[in-house]
Amino acid sequence: MESLNFDKYPFLAELGLEKESLGCYTNGEWKSGEETVNSVSPHDNSITATAKLATADHYEECIKSMEEEKAAWMMLPAPARGEIVRQIGEKIREKKDALGSLIALEMGKIKAEGDGEVQEVIDICDFACGLSRSLEGKVLPSERPGHMMLECWNPLGIVGVITAFNFPCAVFGWNACIGLVCGDLMLWKGSETTPLVSIATAKIFADVLKENGFNSVVSLCQGTGKEVGELMTNDKRVPLVSFTGSTRVGRIVGNTVSKRFGKTILELGGNNAVIILDDANVDMALKACAFSAVGTCGQRCTSLRRIYLQDNIYDDFVEKLVKSYSTVKIGDPLDNDTLVGPLHNKAGVEIYKNAIEEIKNQGGKILTGGNVIEGDGNYVEPTIVEIDKDSEIVQTETFAPILYVFKIKDVDEAIKYNNDVPQGLSSSLFTNDLKNYFKWIGPLGSDCGLVNCNIGSSGAEIGGAFGGEKETGGGRESGSDAWKQYMRRSTCTVNFSTSLPLAQGIKFDV
């Protein structure tokens, strides 16, 4: 099919894309099958370009090529691997504006957020480069004389990465940069609805690696979930699968991989809450909540879904929040004045419409928004809803800009409701009382993976481990010691004496 808008966006050619780009890279070559997928702009649902998808045969070719290159990459010293990741970061810096524009065009988030997503990859390259010189084990005391114990960490091998449409560049970067310095090879299946971002990002990684003599360390297999995704999750040659997506699909991935005793990193749904107490800086809380709720048109896994307000500040806060929504400019994500772009696709609009109908059926009151914006694009109104705290729909993550507001008596009631959902990703408490904060982060506080104070629920730094509990999947990516998931641990004991004492004082004379 002839593309409609390719020539309209010069940054596409700058990223090495074509009107019909190939969706598989391995062994130093780009290739594909005959099946194509359109890259559709959420702004007006026009076709930008097409991508030719990878097939099951290409998947097998990727695996075999990576197996052939595995030993050379694993045996390269970690600081040398880190230097290559540093070079990848430099190349991404050069392409930041173009890649950020492509994310805005194909995913639908505004240009500033697209640029921010690319910056995350640059930052994780820097982090990983430093990590390559500080990967560490432990020396442990032995109970036996003349013995020493230590921990040794080695690469897993091939890591499969399956990413979602909402962060089509950054999530691969989190996994790839850490995995690469750990000595792993990365096999990537990006979202079927953001194929150009996957191809453009993979080109940058692949070009740098090729300059350094490696043709398959990062391989892209941009196929369907039914074909490529299922092959990856069932493949014993892929000891770790990192999956970002819905809880429903994540449960399938987790079960499939665990049956073959593989490992998973699961980054699944979020149903994130902010608690605002009457001792908080309310103006700061208002700004944080507005961005967390409407940013990326509510399509972040960390997007704000629920606000719990102490009852004596509820009316004033909600009134100001509703007023702030009226000032948000909705429109073309490539327009620098836009604050909220479209939902990613028509399916997202249907999900939004169905949620609004269900809210009404469950007695919810729409304070602002609640409508689809007529036109060619996938635009909806950011929505604020009053509804009973125990309503069934509040338990569900709707991947759209729908925010529920509730009254609570005190911090203890708020913590109860924060935790009373199946998901456990991000949470935040606004307070100026340290007693409240330390209760919030303690054993009876928030049960989420991200537990914030006086900031919004969305927007995490790369230095900390990112991920959540319960139906969010339990995986961790990015910083802190998340690198341990990409390696295998050996407890190593050496006897440097001339006797053979047994542990636990056992006597066994022969």
- Residue 420 in tokens: 């009373």
The active-site residue out of 69, 267, 471, 477 is: 267
Q: Burial letters for 363-388: b for 16+ Cβ neighbours within 10 Å, e otherwise?
A: ebebbbbbeeeeeebbbbbbbbbbbe
Q: Burial letters for 88-104: b for 16+ Cβ neighbours within 10 Å, e otherwise?
A: bbebbeebbebbbbbbb
Residue 290 vs residues 443, 452, 456, 461: alpha-carbon distances, Å: 29, 16, 9, 19
Sheet with 29-31, edge to edge strand ranges: 29-31, 24-26, 218-221, 185-189, 158-162, 240-244, 263-267
Strands (E), 277-358: 304-310
Helices (H), 157-281: 170-182, 195-211, 230-234, 247-259
Cα distance between residue 317 and residue 430, in whole Å? 13
Short-list 194, 188, 161, 178, CA closest to 89: 178
Cα distance between residue 503 and residue 128, in whole Å? 39
Q: Facing residues of 451 across strands?
A: 427
Contact 24, 222 (CB under 8 A): yes
Backbone angles phi, psi at 162, to 5 degrees: -120, 120
Short-list 235, 230, 173, 169, CA closest to 200: 169
Contact 425, 269 (CB under 8 A): yes
Short-list 191, 45, 166, CA closest to 103: 166
- Residue 133 in tokens: 């010189």
Sheet with 47-52, edge to edge strand ranges: 20-22, 47-52, 36-40
Contact 417, 408 (CB under 8 A): yes
Residue 267 bears catalytic tag:
yes
Q: Which residues contact 441 (CB under 8 A, 6 or more apart)?
A: 451, 453
Q: Which helix H or strand E contains 365, and what residues bound it?
A: strand 365-368
Residue 416 vs residues 81, 308, 438, 455, 458: alpha-carbon distances, Å: 46, 11, 16, 20, 21
Contacts 24+ apart (CB under 8 A), 100-103: 101/9, 101/11, 101/334, 102/9, 102/11, 102/12, 102/15, 102/17, 102/196, 102/197, 102/200, 103/168, 103/169, 103/194, 103/197
Q: Give the CA radius of gyration of the chain.
A: 24
The residues assigned a catalytic role are 267
